[in-house]
Amino acid sequence: MCGIVGYIGQEPAAPILLDGLSKLEYRGYDSAGIAVFDGASIRMEKTVGRLRVLQELTQNGETMPGFCGIGHTRWATHGCPSDTNAHPHMNREHTIAVVHNGIIENYAKLKAALQKKGYEFVSETDTEVLAHLLTEYYRGDPIKAIEKVLSRVEGSYALGIMFLDHPHHIYAARKDSPLIVGFSGTGKFIASDVPAILKHTRTVYYMENEEIVSLSMEHIRFYNLDGEPLEKQPVTINWDIHAAEKGGFPHFMLKEIYEQPKAIRDTISPRIQGDDVALEELGLSDEQIRSIRKINIVACGSAYHAGVTGKYVLEGLARIPVEVDLASEFRYRDPILEADTLVIVISQSGETADSLAALREAKGRGAKVLGIVNVVGSSIAREADNVLYTWAGPEISVATTKAYSCQIAALYLLALKFAKVRGQIDPSDFSQMLQDLRNLPEQVEQLLGQKEQIQFFANRFLATEHVFFIGRGIDYAISLEASLKLKEISYIHSEAYAAGELKHGTISLIENGTLVVALATQENLYPKTISNIVEVKSRGAFVMALTNEDHKEMEHTADYVLYIPKTNRFFTNSLAIVPLQLFAYYISLGRGLDVDKPRNLAKSVTVE
């Protein structure tokens, strides 16, 4: 989604803004712009395309002198990607400049009212409404004008604003779109995410919904929407700066695939204590765990796929009925939630608009909400009753890998804990499964060693147009994620199918040479999946199978076979997904695509 950076301080602003925006590129964008106060006026440059174009246009910011400015990378919602629709947006007099993330839902009504008053619009964006509305309400006090504007807008926003009348100030506000404020010895910052300012400071304030802030050389002042001052405490970010850099890898995605052993270890190790799973952060007593009647898992995209795995594992081990919903569906389907329902919201960013709305819906209906979240202090983490953090570290590549792997690891822990407390698991099986969990990071490392073999195979299929991923049970859940990984970064059409379902229609799409990736890691379903492989092979499919290392006979059935080391059948997803992430990566690489920033996509989807 869009990215915001703002700076006021002792150093030239434009290079800091451009550098900050480059750290937010991972969020996805199609145009970029900056506005800087140059001592007399607010100067603005904006352009469609990559940040590189803006850097060239401004000679890395040198043509835009000044010590106070705001910048933006835009991911188009209202109006196509274009120079005009790019942010910042200014009023006609060029005395007010605005950058905005989110959506102003009632913008059409506001626009019509402003047009009646004679305001002229140059862009198709919802954001331009804000520039004109600020002009309408501004009487010399920026905070008062912002308060009035925000009382009229509906929707979500993170805003950075400059007023020519107050040239050494930046103003900002947020509602349902993330924004942080940071400060160092030499300046003050606003940003949509930590990497943008990590180089300059680790001391930040997380802005809450409906807060306004004013930043100058001397102060940072927070207000509520009634203009009353607020006291806030800064927090220290303990991210390693190198975690937000590529560290010698050609792409963030490959780096993050390679970080999975550590990420999984960091997520599970502190929670396996002796022969038990320690999850105090759940805030649930054993009695409460025993009284859960149903679990609803809600998430989007890959996090939803983690939830599908979670359903199999939680039902299989803890014997609790689980429903999994896409957050965008859940929030509007009038879900039936009782007091003994536990709702689990899974999200890497903790800012996904639909997941956040689903969380609020669930809380509003009296359910207890547990977040499985990666970004500390994010909206979902703050609003959930309790949080089970995944310790994947910052994930930059748009396509998730390590955060997904940590989400399923967190769900394993939860399932084991619930199974034990509810008396559904034999103590010796429990101990063996803890050992299997501890072994996962090393086994993932082992699989990463197959990278050349996978690259070689991927290169054979660079020109393929359709791929099907099939599997049963947990193998179906793996297929969903493997298929999404491939299509989102390679632009190859791909579908995941429950292997037994294919013959109910979709098998008609299989023809000579169609690539079918068959997952067969579930021992109890192995013979059934073999039958499904034979079905597609006899219709001409080329089958790449992925199975457990002791099923060498698969080579008699499939055309190409990848193996995963032995683990408990509930945990095979953690291993099987790794070669398939690499497969997607090498296909995208081989097709010459932008692996980390696929077209049309954003890292954190903060609009509905």
488 binding ligand F6R? (CB under 6 A): yes
Q: Token pair for residue 441?
A: 């990071």
Q: How far is the CB of 326 from ligand F6R (least distance, A)?
A: 10
- Give the neighbor-by-neighbor strand order of the sheet with 180-183: 42-48, 31-37, 68-74, 3-9, 187-191, 180-183, 203-206, 235-236
Residue 588 near ligand F6R by CB under 6 A: no
Instruction: Give the pairing of strands 169-175 and 157-163.
Output: antiparallel
Q: Is 352 in the site for ligand F6R (CB under 6 A)?
A: yes
Examine residue 347 and tell whether it contacts ligand F6R (CB under 6 A): yes
Closest distance to ligand F6R from the beta carbon of 449 (Å): 24
Binding of residue 349 to ligand F6R (CB under 6 A): yes
Q: Does 355 bind ligand F6R (CB under 6 A)?
A: yes
Using the minimum distance from each CB to ligand F6R, give the nearer residue, 369 or 484. Answer: 484
Residue 212 sits at φ, ψ, to 5 deg, of -120, 145
Output the six-digit token pair for 574. 């953690």
Among 405, 581, 588, 604, binds ligand F6R (CB under 6 A): 604
Catalytic residue among 2, 68, 300, 406: 2
Q: Which is nearer to ligand F6R, 26 or 570 (CB)?
A: 26
CA dihedral 490, 496, 502, 506 (to 10 degrees): -40
Is residue 34 a contact partner of residue 97, using CB atoms and an 8 Å limit? no
Work out whether 214 is an interface residue with ligand F6R (CB under 6 A).
no
Verify binding: residue 494, ligand F6R, rule CB under 6 A. Answer: no
3-class DSSP string for 380-430:
HHHHCCEEEECCCCCCCCCCCCHHHHHHHHHHHHHHHHHHHHCCCCCHHHH
Least distance to ligand F6R, CB of residue 406, Å: 11
Least distance to ligand F6R from the beta carbon of 352, Å?
A: 3
Number of residues forming the site for ligand F6R (CB under 6 A):
15
Length of the chain: 608
User: What minimum distance in Å lies between the beta carbon of 46 and ligand F6R?
Assistant: 27
Per the annotation, the verdict on 300 as an active-site residue is no
Q: Is 68 one of the catalytic residues?
A: no
* Structure tokens belonging to residue 104: 């102003």
CB of 421 to ligand F6R, least distance (A): 27
Choosing from 23, 368, 402, 603, the catalytic residue is 603
Candidate segments 109-117, 262-270, 346-354, 494-502, binder of ligand F6R by CB under 6 A: 346-354
542 vs 560: CA distance, rounded Å: 8
Q: Is 483 in the site for ligand F6R (CB under 6 A)?
A: no
For residues 236 and 410, give the distance between their C-alpha atoms in angstroms, rounded to a whole number: 25
**Dihedral Cα 124, 126, 127, 129, nearest 10 deg:** 90
Q: Which of residues 383-422 bind ligand F6R (CB under 6 A)?
A: 399-400
Nearest residue (CB) to ligand F6R, 190 versus 399: 399
CA 187 to chain centre: 29
Q: Minimum distance from CB of 410 to ligand F6R (Å)?
A: 12
Binding mask 288-327 for ligand F6R (x = CB under 6 A): ------------xxxx------------------------
Distance between CA 521 and CA 419 in Å, rounded? 22
Residue in the block written with tokens 């009035």: 148
Residues that bind ligand F6R (CB under 6 A): 300-303, 347-349, 352, 355, 399-400, 484, 488, 604-605
Q: List active site positions.
A: 2, 603
